[in-house]
A and B are shown apart, each in its own frame.
Chain A
């Protein structure tokens, strides 16, 4: 056997290390686009659909004759994961849309590939599913909408064991601020150790959504702080102030679980599923989320609709057109197979499974009525169908607004931060903080419009005003009118 000297050992080790380092540096090309064996990679962030999507990937592997590798990423990490994947040329073939960029920017940057949907697949989509500027550009479809836009994030889920013990009727949930406060007081008075409600105050993005919803149903004539008729920002409107003050009052009355200040949505839902609180404001996906973390708790679920300040207030909220949920990567080595995978999501079988996952309701809300879902979820889908209307969107009326959206910058502190700060006592002048928020949004939009105009876009502040909008009715885009 050859004698190994210390030097030859070191030289050999160095050579091995160098080889390993070179191999690691050069691995990107092999794993870019499809997986190493020519498979399709599919990433998404839908926690309630993890099992269903894993099963669907296995089934599609057989149907497509190609391995489909499904990966779930937590929503808070998904954008970062895609950002890093793109920079290292490893975007998955199919991915869910967590990018806060307009479709035109994604197309221009090569993030997305045109979807090659068959006529049968297009026919299966409900009318109005595809919207120019949102899912399509120049008639080409780039993003598949999966969920209905007829939904809101501020439903009031409750633990029927706790509410029943407190003398509340699960079939007659609270619908107004007063009724809700009385229900929480009843749970507190019962004194069984459960908190009346839990709130994910650490999940500031969700807080923002829920206060937007509560303000809207209380009469705010717009969405996300912007009035439909005039296009002006008015977060300091009474409807916003009152909705936040309502939560503040509940918090100050110790009706919200102590420690909610730092809870993320997932943490809050897990704790609520463990039976620590009676009520939990959340979106329709709550049922699917709970099913994932505490299956035994699903049968205890009850749900109430979004709350209105006073009895008799008409319940109506507004949402834009259905967004694009799934894209095929512009760098996909096999966009045809990736498109077929996305197309499979339009089938009745997938839509039924999607409804059964109890995440966001599917595009065709009527599917929920016959799907394998719990009764509260079915009831909530029915409320969505009755109360959520189509609201105006600047980018639909003028697709060039996408350039303004691309030039916009994030605003901080945001509405969710302000809610957290006000409930925690860090903000004392709520209306002042909301006014500053409106001003910050207005200033940012003005700079974004200036940037877009300088780049040749035909846009102006007037694009955000819809004086013809009629409250309580579906908005009709100009091209469809």
Chain B
């Protein structure tokens, strides 16, 4: 039989009431130590992997941002904050910040609203094949992003892609280079991104919708409320706490579009889809002489931006919980 984590003798040795316990009895101390040991043992894989693949790279990138290093040579020359000065003085960095924010503004509202509408439709018990539809809409989420990026190049090929073929059917003879034109590339990439990832936001919404008690809907219907009034006065108010959290999660998510953008446009044409992640990658690995210090400084600044969103996320979680407490 497995030994209990808290031993009986320790409980039996509890001090009489009224006495202040300064040191636990020996048996209890041994039991607590063993319990702590087991806790740390089970936490160890997470701590090691999180430390190696998350904490160490973060700390290392802070160090690299203070040195000049090309990755080919051993010498890492300490240059203080001059990499930060160079990044801040580079118009291409600010251009990539702008593109990242525009991309977020294009993607986040579309992802949140479209997935909400779809989740409401798919949540209806009257909808036939709703499980099939849920699977179909979620399928792009589990498709490899890099493959989606490559396939989309063919889909939007202005000389022979299916989009061009459809445009020809409606009389547009000259193919439109949606990914090769800097005026349309970002919007097209945003549309693909929304299609690829809105399934995950839809799942968030469906989980949120299922927290609304069905009795409220039944009562409203008995009172003669129509679909719009039910949505306006029951669904929407009860979803508001979730809206905050889902919005912040989605916004944070839109900052990580490297794989899709790199495979679909590579940041082009002429840097028009160069989000910050591609900017960092370009200087770290794609430059003729890699500039790892410079790229790390850009990455740290990008990290600050994500951190701001993280703080908002924490605030949204707090506000969401508070709002739910008030509603209940």
Q: How many residues of A contact B (CB 8 A)?
A: 46
**Chain B residues in 8 Å Cβ range of A101:** 70, 72-73, 289
The answer to whether the Cβ of A276 comes within 8 Å of any Cβ in the partner chain is yes
The answer to whether the Cβ of B210 comes within 8 Å of any Cβ in the partner chain is no
Instruction: Give the CA-CA distance A100 to B289 in the complex, in Å.
Output: 6
Query: Which residue of B175, B180, B270 contacts A417 across the interface (Cβ within 8 Å)?
Result: B270
A258 and B291 contacting across the interface, CB-CB below 8 Å:
no
Report the minimum CB–CB distance from B36 to chain A (whole Å).
16
The answer to whether the Cβ of B92 comes within 8 Å of any Cβ in the partner chain is yes
Q: Give a binary string over B190-223; 1 marks a CB under 8 Å from any A CB, 0 the rest.
A: 0000000000000000000000000000000000
User: Contacts A258-B175, A259-B159 known; A109 to B2 CB distance under 8 Å?
Assistant: no
B2 and A6 contacting across the interface, CB-CB below 8 Å:
yes
Report the minimum CB–CB distance from B191 to chain A (whole Å).
16
A259 and B270 contacting across the interface, CB-CB below 8 Å:
no
**Chain B residues in 8 Å Cβ range of A425:** 182
**Chain A residues in 8 Å Cβ range of B287:** 410, 412
**Chain A residues in 8 Å Cβ range of B305:** none
Query: Which residue of A18, A108, A409 contacts B289 across the interface (Cβ within 8 Å)?
Result: A409
The answer to whether the Cβ of A111 comes within 8 Å of any Cβ in the partner chain is yes
Instruction: Give the CA-CA distance A273 to B153 in the complex, in Å.
Output: 18
A413 and B271 contacting across the interface, CB-CB below 8 Å:
yes
Closest A residue to B176 by beta carbon equals A258
Q: Which among A80-88, A165-173, A212-220, A293-301 touches the partner chain?
A: A80-88
The answer to whether the Cβ of B177 comes within 8 Å of any Cβ in the partner chain is yes
The answer to whether the Cβ of A17 comes within 8 Å of any Cβ in the partner chain is yes
A262 and B289 contacting across the interface, CB-CB below 8 Å:
no
The answer to whether the Cβ of B318 comes within 8 Å of any Cβ in the partner chain is no
A424 and B271 contacting across the interface, CB-CB below 8 Å:
no
**Chain A residues in 8 Å Cβ range of B290:** 79, 83
Instruction: Give the CA-CA distance A420 to B177 in the complex, in Å.
Output: 14
Closest A residue to B73 by beta carbon equals A109
B48 and A21 contacting across the interface, CB-CB below 8 Å:
yes
The answer to whether the Cβ of A427 comes within 8 Å of any Cβ in the partner chain is yes
Query: Which residue of B41, B42, B153 contacts A262 across the interface (Cβ within 8 Å)?
Result: B153
User: Contacts A100-B288, A262-B179 known; A424 to B72 CB distance under 8 Å?
Assistant: no
A202 and B266 contacting across the interface, CB-CB below 8 Å:
yes
User: Contacts A87-B71, A195-B159, A259-B180 known; A409 to B269 CB distance under 8 Å?
Assistant: no
B269 and A426 contacting across the interface, CB-CB below 8 Å:
yes
Instruction: Give the CA-CA distance A90 to B315 in the complex, in Å.
Output: 46
Q: Give a binary string over A238-276; 1 marks a CB under 8 Å from any B CB, 0 the rest.
A: 000000000000000010011111100000000000001
**Chain B residues in 8 Å Cβ range of A195:** 159
The answer to whether the Cβ of B174 comes within 8 Å of any Cβ in the partner chain is yes
The answer to whether the Cβ of B158 comes within 8 Å of any Cβ in the partner chain is yes
Q: Give a binary string over B257-274; 1 marks a CB under 8 Å from any A CB, 0 the rest.
A: 000000001101111100
Top 10 closest pairs, chain A to chain B, by CB: A261-B180, A421-B270, A410-B287, A100-B288, A259-B158, A258-B158, A262-B180, A426-B270, A80-B285, A261-B269
25 sampled A-B residue pairs with Cβ under 8 A: A6-B2, A14-B45, A18-B44, A76-B286, A80-B285, A83-B72, A86-B72, A99-B72, A101-B289, A109-B72, A109-B73, A201-B269, A259-B177, A261-B181, A262-B179, A262-B268, A408-B289, A412-B92, A412-B282, A413-B270, A421-B269, A424-B269, A424-B270, A426-B182, A426-B270
